Structure 1
């Protein structure tokens, strides 16, 4: 159900991870029927009320979800999809923003050789990968092994360990076979309880993220 909501919401930035949304197009097909109003709530998509949205190519070649420019009542410049920000969420306004960034920039893990790539099936990639025990934030592979990423926007609670072990067990049984399955918990702050707990689980890694912004002055002549 979660996959259908994300894929069908014309303004959800993560919809580009589904096969029907992997090319530039105006959101006027059978796959475009919901509008995300924030915090996981959706309504039926009505272009005359919410504007005409599109999946477009950004200057770097990646796909973005945005309000289409010069279509119907959309008279202003195109605006990329964005969710309402909240101080409680710290650096990343929503978990989807962090997830999509990491999916495009999978980290190199200490003591693990080689680059990671998103796991892919015939109809979708490893972002919000649905399983019988819940959706995996990011599922990646490398050198034949599987990597389950569990993302927390702020502080990583020790309960995250049980959650990621559940996903790892599912991947081991249904996908990995004889290959290894590793878990990676990512948060802006890893709690001390979680650090202690993770010392007893050798296939789980803990990682903290930081966001750095550098500002420089510009003028008409630069």
Structure 2
């Protein structure tokens, strides 16, 4: 019987020995050098499972129920694509897995702090939680129906990187991309969602993300940007009119309520 530790323990040991921050590649190389033949996909999966802020961790058996992230599997914090550090709740905040409005398990901070990026704030409302909730709903809807967005009459697909990470709330060194997609020619499309009025401030935000994607992911492929908002104002129209690679989309919500006849 093998006395080798489970792979998640190997990952934990690697991070302790390598120090933080470190990379997924360095963790994999450490494990292979010390323990020999270990399935590389299993190593990659265990890194995802043990990263408290990785959105894909909820798809694994260890994380299939709502809970606060304080178990033995909660010792990594994802700092960027392919990069992690040791999780420290006093630095990174408390994280949890919870059910969203659609009953879908998701990862999020248990205690909300100030917004990470003031550019994400559109129109303030009396109900402070409403814009965030609606943006989650819009993102979840587009994740399942990304093909309704068409570029050159061709539907988009959700991007996946070489580690299998889906392009939903995709972490970068310069912020989190709402949706990262690919078109029919395999070019990359950065999608930024605004739940209410689309301000021209979002131009700088999406160009920042597009620049990061071009440098780190695209290679020879083209990079385009799409801003989705309920209402595109004139300032944003003027700003976007000089950018050939940025497109604007407006969404509409329709809600009907019919009275039910009683017998």
| TM-score, normalised relative to structure 1 | 0.63
Counterpart for residue 182 of structure 2: 141
Q: 1:171 to 1:23 in 2, by over 3 A?
A: same
Q: How far, CA to CA, are the matches of 1:120 and 1:208 in structure 2? A: 25
Is 1:195 the counterpart of 2:234 in the alignment?
A: no
Is 1:106 the counterpart of 2:146 in the alignment?
A: yes
> How many Å apart are 1:137 and its aligned residue?
0.8
Is 1:167 the counterpart of 2:204 in the alignment?
A: no
Q: How far, CA to CA, are the matches of 2:164 and 2:211 in structure 1? A: 23
Q: 1:32 to 1:64 in 2, by over 3 A?
A: farther
Q: How far, CA to CA, are the matches of 1:65 and 1:86 in structure 2? A: 27
> How many Å apart are 1:95 and its aligned residue?
2.4
Query: Which of 188, 212, 227 is residue 185 of structure 1 equivalent to?
Result: 227
Q: 1:114 to 1:178 in 2, by over 3 A?
A: same
Counterpart for residue 137 of structure 2: 97
Gaps of 5+ in 1: 10-14, 34-40, 46-52, 67-84
Over aligned residue pairs, what C-alpha RMSD do you find?
Answer: 3.6
Counterpart for residue 130 of structure 1: 171
> How many Å apart are 1:94 and its aligned residue?
4.1
- Determine which structure has more spread, i.e. the larger CA radius of gyration: 2
> How many Å apart are 1:138 and its aligned residue?
0.6
- Deviation string, structure 1 residues 188-222 (Cα, Å, up to 9, x no partner): 1111111011110011011111111122333566x
> How many Å apart are 1:91 and its aligned residue?
7.3
Counterpart for residue 81 of structure 1: none
Q: How far, CA to CA, are the matches of 2:192 and 2:95 in structure 1? A: 30
> How many Å apart are 1:97 and its aligned residue?
2.3
Q: Report if the CA contact (8 A) 1:139-1:149 is conserved.
A: yes
Q: Report if the CA contact (8 A) 2:58-2:105 is conserved.
A: no
* More helix as a share of residues: 2
Q: 1:30 to 1:140 in 2, by over 3 A?
A: farther
Counterpart for residue 20 of structure 2: none
Q: 1:161 to 1:44 in 2, by over 3 A?
A: closer
- Deviation string, structure 1 residues 52-111 (Cα, Å, up to 9, x no partner): x7779x8xxxx7139xxxxxxxxxxxxxxxxxx964676773422222222222154455
Gaps of 5+ in 2: 1-47, 76-91, 107-124
- Equivalent pairs, count: 173
| TM-score, normalised relative to structure 2 | 0.54
